[in-house]
């Protein structure tokens, strides 16, 4: 038996291929500093683990969960948005519980688009957005995210044809992979753009807790009229170091939320109730762990940028997320530079072209190792002699 034609059309899993390269290098006994991953390296806070432990012992949580999630978690999501962003959310009609927001992002085109419809995707962007287009039998156009525009889309530059046929747009701020951020005026512009062109908006707010230099990232739903045109996905993976727990939610437009809930009724039977109770404890509980987390990433960012500048690598500090988007040296493609770092410096980064055409010329570095390992990685790169006009004798 062969895989279906639809599965054969799916893009190569970029992160799986990267992980295989790193694993192969490690299996050779090499000390690899992995800056290419997007997997949080710190533990889930203790009070969340204790909430899971206590609720896992309750026999009532050993049964099937309600298809659309437990009420406690829906209300916790609504309370979280009111407390953090002053956004009112109806827990009964404007919340969808997800087994990780990747699930929602990939299934959404199947839920609200028809075969042959078009969606708009960022370039560079999270590679799994493309999977949703394939599985939904829809087409997509891309819009460039370039440094000169703060890694924000330029809606005015979109052609009339592209705006006419688009039914859905994906946005993601703080951004993966660029680390760019968006302010309220941009989201207000987005709402106006969506209404003018009858386009639904999806904002992937995965890094919503990770803004640097004293600036809290803005929720799309804070823009007036946002719930009329779109939704926002929020994951607990990054905010609370719960990546392996696979829990998140979508909030916003009730019609889109209803469509997500409907497709999930047919694909899943919600999440283990104890995980949902623990997620509610995370959202409702002491948030000092979130600030501690953000501060650690900002400190790591500062070390990375300072060390890069020390060796003559002209890079800019990201404003949010736990990624840095670094230009490759002259004379290299993204993939050539990535391969060189792995083979000659035992440092793994993610090649920018894996995130789209406009990712060429960059590599993505994760702030997901200790400051000591970050310094060691830059010292290894320094020895390649690629900066400050030093001879690249190792090539």
Task: Please state, rounded to an integer, the average pLDDT across all residues of the chain.
Answer: 94
Residue 22 pLDDT level (bands cut at 50, 70, 90): confident
Residue 21 pLDDT level (bands cut at 50, 70, 90): confident
Tens digit of each residue's pLDDT (9 = 90 or more) over 131-150:
999 999 999 999 999 999 99
Tokens of 52: 């899971």
CA-closest candidate to residue 301, choices 179, 133, 158: 179
Q: What is the pLDDT of residue 389?
A: 52
- How does 103-134 read in b/e, with b if 16+ C-beta sit within 10 Å? bbbbbbbbbbbeeebbbbbbbbbbbebbbbbb
Q: What is the pLDDT of residue 395?
A: 32
Tens digit of each residue's pLDDT (9 = 90 or more) over 203-248:
999 999 999 999 999 999 999 999 999 999 999 999 999 999 999 9
Tokens of 13: 């899993």
Q: What is the pLDDT of residue 161?
A: 97
221-224's contacts with Cβ under 8 Å and 24+ in sequence apart are: 221/81, 221/85, 221/87, 221/89, 221/251, 221/252, 222/85, 222/86, 222/87, 222/184, 222/187, 223/184, 223/187, 223/188, 223/190, 223/191, 224/188, 224/191
- Given CATH 3.40.50.2300, say whether it is the number of domain 5-43+288-382: no
Mean pLDDT computed over 76-95: 98
Q: What is the pLDDT of residue 189?
A: 98
Vertex 301 angle, CA 173 and 24, to 5°: 90
Vertex 316 angle, CA 353 and 125, to 5°: 30
Beta strand spans in 205-291 (E):
230-235, 248-252
Q: What is the pLDDT of residue 18?
A: 80
Please check the confidence at residue 366 and state whether its pLDDT lies above 60.
yes
DSSP 245: G
Residue 201 pLDDT level (bands cut at 50, 70, 90): very high
Q: Which CATH topology does 62-284 take?
A: 3.40.640
Domain spans, the chain: 5-43+288-382, 62-284
Q: What's the length of the chain? A: 395
**Strand, helix or coil for residue 171:** strand
CB 352 within 8 A of CB 334: yes
CA-closest candidate to residue 126, choices 13, 265, 279, 264: 13
Specify the range with the lowest mean pLDDT, choosing from 33-37, 46-50, 180-184, 370-374: 33-37
15 vs 292, more confident: 292
323 — phi, psi (to 5°)? Answer: -125, 150
């Amino acid at each position: 038996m062969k895989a279906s034609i639809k599965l054969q059309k799916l893009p190569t899993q970029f992160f799986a291929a990267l992980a295989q390269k790193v694993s192969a290098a490690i299996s050779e006994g090499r000390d690899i500093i992995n800056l290419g991953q997007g997997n949080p390296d710190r533990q889930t806070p203790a009070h969340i683990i204790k909430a899971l432990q206590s609720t896992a012992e309750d026999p009532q949580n050993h049964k099937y969960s309600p298809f659309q999630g437990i009420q406690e978690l829906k209300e916790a999501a609504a309370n979280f948005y009111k407390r953090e962003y002053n956004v009112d959310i109806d827990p009964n009609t404007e919340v969808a519980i997800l087994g990780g927001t990747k699930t929602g992002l990939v299934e959404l085109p199947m839920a609200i688009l028809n075969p042959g419809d078009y969606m708009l995707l960022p370039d560079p962007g999270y590679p799994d957005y493309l999977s949703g287009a394939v599985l939904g039998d829809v087409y997509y156009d891309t819009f460039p995210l370039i440094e000169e525009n703060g890694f924000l889309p330029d809606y005015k530059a979109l052609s009339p044809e592209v705006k006419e046929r688009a039914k859905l747009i994906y946005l993601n701020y703080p951004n993966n992979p660029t680390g760019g951020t968006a302010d309220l005026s941009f989201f207000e512009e987005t709402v106006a753009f969506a209404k003018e062109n009858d386009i639904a908006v999806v904002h992937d707010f995965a890094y919503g807790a990770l803004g640097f230099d004293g600036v809290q990232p803005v929720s799309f739903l804070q823009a007036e009229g946002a719930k009329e045109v779109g939704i926002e996905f929020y994951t607990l993976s990054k905010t609370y170091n719960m990546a392996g727990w696979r829990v998140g939610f979508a909030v916003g437009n009730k019609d889109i939320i209803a469509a997500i809930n409907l497709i999930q009724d047919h694909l899943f039977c919600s999440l283990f109730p104890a995980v949902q109770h623990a997620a509610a404890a995370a959202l409702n509980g002491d948030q000092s762990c979130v600030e501690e987390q953000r501060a650690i990433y900002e400190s790591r960012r500062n070390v990375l940028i300072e060390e890069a500048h020390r060796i003559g690598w002209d890079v800019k500090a990201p404003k949010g997320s736990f990624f840095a988007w670094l230009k490759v040296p002259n004379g290299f493609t993204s993939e050539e530079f990535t391969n060189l770092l792995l083979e000659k410096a035992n440092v793994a980064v993610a090649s920018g072209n894996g995130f789209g055409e406009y990712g060429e010329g960059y590599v993505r570095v994760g702030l997901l190792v200790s400051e000591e390992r970050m310094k060691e990685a830059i010292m290894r790169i320094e020895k390649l002699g690629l900066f400050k006009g030093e001879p690249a004798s190792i090539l």
